[in-house]
Each structure stands twice: as structure tokens, then as C-alpha cells.
Structure 1
Amino acid sequence: MKGSVIRSVSVLFAAASLFGAVQATLDPIVIKGSKFFYKTNGTQFFIKGVAYQQGVGAAGESSGSSSSVKYSDPLASEADCKRDVPLLKSLGANLIRTYAIDPTADHSACIKLLDDAGIYVISDLGQPNLSINRENPEWNLDLYTRYTDVVDALAKYPNVIGFFAGNEVTSNSSYTPASAFVKAAIRDTKAYIKKAGHTAAVGYAADDDASARANVAAYFNCGDAADNIDFWGYNIYSWCDPSNYVDSGYQNHTETFSTYNVPVFFAEYGCNEGSASGSAPRVFNEVAALYGSDMSKVFSGGIVYEYFQEVNDYGLVTLTGNNVSKLKDYDNFSTKIHAVSPSSVNAASY
């Protein structure tokens, strides 16, 4: 009997050790009011993110059900993640945004590498060939299946904060009817997540079109909370150096969202007005403003565009074969993001 007890304890200990070895080290991020917090200690969380996916243009260009664009899942290759995650960590990133993942792929290795590096994930739910098309919007069974498959693939990981149900679908006022389909997607995806027992949040990433931005922001944050966004992402490229807090429009945006009741952050930022043949490196002076005393009261950080160098010349690194080289943008952004110290509140007193 004693030997059986010992063997049982040994088996339990081994199982517990194995379980502990694969468990996440990062504290889940939760939402309270208009801010993100670490679940355990209530410290406020600010996104210091990077867009991380090859072959997807700024604002997730190529989206729409009529597109034939192929994509490569950035979280499916352990070798690629082993190559890139140390650089993301050194950069100062605590989050990546992915635009399209393959829900049938195994993401556990990459997610674990990101977790070990202190990096969270927000992923878009669509993919270039299957997302809500602003020209001919639908919310149908194929889209629902795609969205919920992505949820099933990623929501189980504690360092996955949430998902974007749409990205710049209503890119100007002529496409406002499409927002109703995105909101239906948000409603149904949130219901699915809740039923499955997950805690991941669902949001929307909007562009900076003056004719639509205010109404779209209000629409996704009105009515029944079960139908509304959990967070609001803002793709914004208005600070083009030399600029400042006022001239860039940042002051106006801060005032606009000062009473918004869910977290707001930049889902993409980092203006580059140069040509594809080679623009001057970005200096990222907007970083100090975004995490400074005025904006950090309203905005929860942002996601710089982008990690990989593409023809649009926004990259932080170049990839040749499997070799990565840092660009000047990498060093410039890293210097600026490491220097920030945003004012914060604790969840218990908020």
C-alpha cells in the first residue's frame, strides 16, 4: 500500500512538473473600463507593439472576400519565431499584431517563445481571402466558421489578449453600411468566446478618415455591451516628422477619445512619407507623445508598423533568406520605446 502511495505521488509530481513546464509565465491582461490591467497585481498595461507579418500591407491591405492573395502564418514556424522573438524582445516590444493565421496550424511553439519573452498577441480574425468586404459586405457561415476557428486556435493561450473582427472595413463614409456586418461579427464572436469559457476580447481597427472616424467610433461603442467592441484600435499615420502633438492631430484625437469607455490604442502607427526606393529612417518622435502624460491618460499605447521590410519601406528589419538584419528604424524605435515611462493607475483604485 505504501509503495502504491509513493508511486501515485511520483506520478502526480511528474505530471505537475510537466504541466508547470508548459504553462504560461505571463499574467493575463484584463479590461476594466477604458484601460488594460495585469490580472494578478492590477498594474496598468500599456501596449508597446509591433505589426508582425510578412506580405500584408499597411492596414491589412488585400482584405476582402474577392481577393486571391495568399498569406503565411507568422505563428506557425518555430524556426522563424526562434529567429525573430529575441529581436522583438530586444526592441522593447511587449505585444505583436498578426493579420492572418492558419487555424489548422500548430502555434504552441511560437506562443511559448513569445510568452517566455514577455510578449502578448492580438490577431485579426480574417484572412485576405475571407474577411468582411467593404464593397459587398456579408456576415455568413463561412466567415463565422473562419472567425471561430481562429478563436479556437488562439484564445486558449493566456498571452493572447484578443482579436480584431475587422480592419478599416468602413474606410470612408461611403462604406458605413459595412459596419453593421462587422458589429454582427463582433456580437457573435464574443458570444462564442463566452460560451467556450475563454476571456479573450474582441475589437475593431479603424482608419483615420475624417469623414467616418467619429461616427464609426461611436457606432461600435453604443447599445448593448454584448454587441459592442471590447477595445478600439486606431490605424493612424498623421505624425510625419517634423511634427508635434498639435499639428499631428494627436491632441484632437486625445480629446475625442477622452470619454470613450473601452481601451483605445494605436493599432498601427509610424508615418513614412518616403518612396519605396528608400526613404529617410523614421525618428519616431511620436512615441514620446503617445506614452506621455497627456495621451497615456486616454490611449493604452500602440503597435508600430512594421517588423519586416517590404516594398513600402516601413520595416524595422530586413530578411534575406533566413538572416535578419536590423535597419536604422529598429534602433531608432528601440531607443524611443525604451525611454518611455507612462503614468499609470492601479485597477483597485480605478
Structure 2
Amino acid sequence: MQRFFQAVENLASYPNLLGFAIPNDLLRVLERTVAAPIIRAMVRDIRRYLSLLAVKRNQRIVPVGIFSLDMSLPLKDQFEYCCSGDDNETVDFFVFDYVCFDAKRAMQTSKGPEPLEMFFNTHIPVSFVYGYNRLIPRGFLDTRTIYLHPDMRHVFSGGIVFQFFDGPNRDGLVALTRRNDGRLYYDKTIDYWNLRDSVNMAFVTLPASIIARSRLVETAAMSGTKPKRSHINQNMLAIGQVPASPVNWTEVEAHIIDDGEWVDAGKEWLDLTVEDLTASMWDKLNIDEANS
């Protein structure tokens, strides 16, 4: 928990941070869902820590949600477990892995895709990860559907593109490359430019009246009913109550008030000047200013 607290403390002050999504990959198979109460305990303690930061340091309370990875467990059961019960243990938003999202196929049927129906009456923001590289480069036609189709706008709070950093599958928006000068740079890939164009086209196409009503649409999408507390069934073996917090909250609060550090800096870092540190970090993470 101390490592989690250190991470959220360092990131919570950034104004462009949308939220903290805790992955539930611990629960990939049915047998492991007995540990689901631990995930809820993590949500509870991280939310409490963020609330203390807000009170003691005048920071905003960043939402805490769950990122449900693509797994064999039914999505509805995962959602209901994360959202039911005591308010201090439930998530603020829910993100799931929509690997099979196909905009054309999803919108051709009157019934719509299963997640669209499942979350139509949701009480919290729901989003999904999409954009897997079935084709290279990706055209991101799905992006326009997410923001232009009225049912999609009503149910989902946008989508999250997979993924930011490039990897062996060439599925990133930026790639680490070595230039002629021998230094490493992050360069935007063709996927980045395609995504940007798709987003721009979607919002140019949207009438001004729809953009002005976007907050009303979000309010409607989150006016549903909170799920009732789920019970043990064939899809979710969450046994027992959420465990008590192992955190010494008196000590945590003192740390926040004293503005202490969770991790002691090593002597070699303390001996460096600010200029040395800046130069060192710039060498390790050099972003081309001309293309940024």
C-alpha cells in the first residue's frame, strides 16, 4: 500500500490526470476470484489516502476505478461486484477491455453489442479500451463511432486507445527511436496522426448543439441504478468480507502533514545539483521539441 500511496501522491496533482485505474488481473480465472475482496480493499484505502491529500494539501480528489482485463469471467459479474455494497469500497468508474469492438458490425444490428446493452443504465462513468492492431497502420474509424453514434455517447464516457508506447506488435502511438546523433527520442507514429485526424473529424462533424449538451448526456448516462450486493455464484467466488486496512492511518496522516517522503533519497542523488538532475533526466527521456 505504501508503494501505491507513493504513486498516487506523485501523480494526483497533475490537472490532466483523469483517474487511477486498478487492474484486476489478479482475478483472471474463476478460482482466483476468492481474492476479489482484496481488490475492493485496495480501492477503499487508495480513495481514503486521496481524500486525506485533498483535505491536508488542498488537492482535488482523483477518481479511483477498475480496469477489467480481457478474461474468461463474465463482464457483468465483475461490474456488479465492483459497484455494489458499501460506498467507500465501490469504484468511481469502470473500464473494460473491448478487444472485439467493431464499429460497423456493432451498429448494424438494432439490438446493438452486448456491452452497450449491459451498461445502458449505468450509474457511474464506463469506458473501454479499443484500437487493437488488426490492420497496420490503424485508421481508427472506431473512434468516430464512439463519439458520433448517439447510443455510444449516451452509455460510454469515450474510449481509451491501446496503447501509448510502441511495442513488438507495433501498437503504440509513440515509438522510441535512435537518431543519427545516437540519442533516443520518442517519435509519433502514423497511428498517432491517424487517431488525431479521426478525433478531429468526429468533433467537426458534431453539431454545436450536441457539443453544448455533452455534460447533460453524461449526466443521463450516469443516472442509472447502483447494482445490489452480489452473492457468490458460478462466476464469482468472492468469499468473506473486505479485509480490514493494514495501514496505520495516524502515521499516514502525520506523513502528509509533515510533507515527508515515502522513500528516502540515496546519497548519490542528494549530492547532485538541480542542474545535474535536469540534464540527467533530459538524456534519459529526450522528446523532440520540434515534433512535440
For normalisation by structure 1, the TM-score amounts to 0.51
1:332 to 194, 205, 214: 194
Match of 1:290?
Answer: 146
The size of the alignment, in residue pairs, is: 200
More helix per residue: 2
Residue 204 in structure 1 maps to residue 69 in structure 2: no
Displacement, 1:218? 0.4
Displacement, 1:193? 1.5
Match of 1:345?
Answer: 215
**1:83-162 map, 5 Å:** 144-162=1-19
Match of 2:39?
Answer: 182
Task: Tell whether the 8 Å contact from 2:106 to 2:113 is kept in structure 1 after alignment.
Answer: no
Match of 1:118?
Answer: none
Displacement, 1:162? 2.1
Distance 1:348-1:297 versus aligned 2 partners, 3 A rule: closer
Residue 315 in structure 1 maps to residue 172 in structure 2: yes
Letter in 1 for 2:169: N
Q: Distance in 1 between matches of 2:13 and 2:192?
A: 31
Task: Tell whether the 8 Å contact from 1:173 to 1:212 is kept in structure 2 after alignment.
Answer: no
Distance 1:349-1:178 versus aligned 2 partners, 3 A rule: closer
**Residue 203 of structure 1 aligns to a residue in which SS?**
strand
Displacement, 1:295? 0.7
For the aligned residues, what is the CA RMSD?
A: 2.8
Q: Distance in 1 between matches of 2:218 and 2:170?
A: 43
Q: Distance in 2 between matches of 1:313 and 1:296?
A: 29
For normalisation by structure 2, the TM-score amounts to 0.61
Displacement, 1:331? 2.6
**1:179-328 map, 5 Å:** 179-197=36-54, 198=59, 199-209=61-71, 211-239=73-101, 243-245=105-107, 251-266=113-128, 268-273=129-134, 280-291=136-147, 292-321=149-178, 322-328=184-190
Task: Tell whether the 8 Å contact from 1:308 to 1:318 is kept in structure 2 after alignment.
Answer: yes
**Residue 158 of structure 2 aligns to a residue in which SS?**
strand
Q: Distance in 1 between matches of 2:104 and 2:23?
A: 31
**Residue 136 of structure 2 aligns to a residue in which SS?**
coil
Distance 1:246-1:168 versus aligned 2 partners, 3 A rule: farther
Task: Tell whether the 8 Å contact from 2:28 to 2:72 is kept in structure 1 after alignment.
Answer: no
Letter in 2 for 1:282: R
Match of 1:55?
Answer: none
Q: Distance in 1 between matches of 2:219 and 2:189?
A: 42
Q: Return the structure number with greater relative CO, CA threshold 8 A, min gap 6.
A: 2
Q: Rg bigger for which structure?
A: 2
Distance 1:243-1:154 versus aligned 2 partners, 3 A rule: same
Displacement, 1:195? 2.4
% identity of equivalent residues: 28
Letter in 2 for 1:290: I
Task: Tell whether the 8 Å contact from 1:246 to 1:252 is kept in structure 2 after alignment.
Answer: no
**Residue 180 of structure 1 aligns to a residue in which SS?**
helix
Q: Distance in 2 between matches of 1:296 and 1:183?
A: 28
Q: Distance in 2 between matches of 1:304 and 1:313?
A: 14
Q: 1:288-325: per-residue Cα shift (whole Å, max 9, x none)?
A: 22112111101011211123321022123332123444
Displacement, 1:231? 0.7
Q: Distance in 2 between matches of 1:161 and 1:188?
A: 19
Task: Tell whether the 8 Å contact from 1:269 to 1:302 is kept in structure 2 after alignment.
Answer: yes
**Residue 158 of structure 1 aligns to a residue in which SS?**
coil
Q: 1:63-100: per-residue Cα shift (whole Å, max 9, x none)?
A: xxxxxxxxxxxxxxxxxxxxxxxxxxxxxxxxxxxxxx
**1:23-62 map, 5 Å:** none
Displacement, 1:286? 1.4
Q: Distance in 1 between matches of 2:150 and 2:125?
A: 17
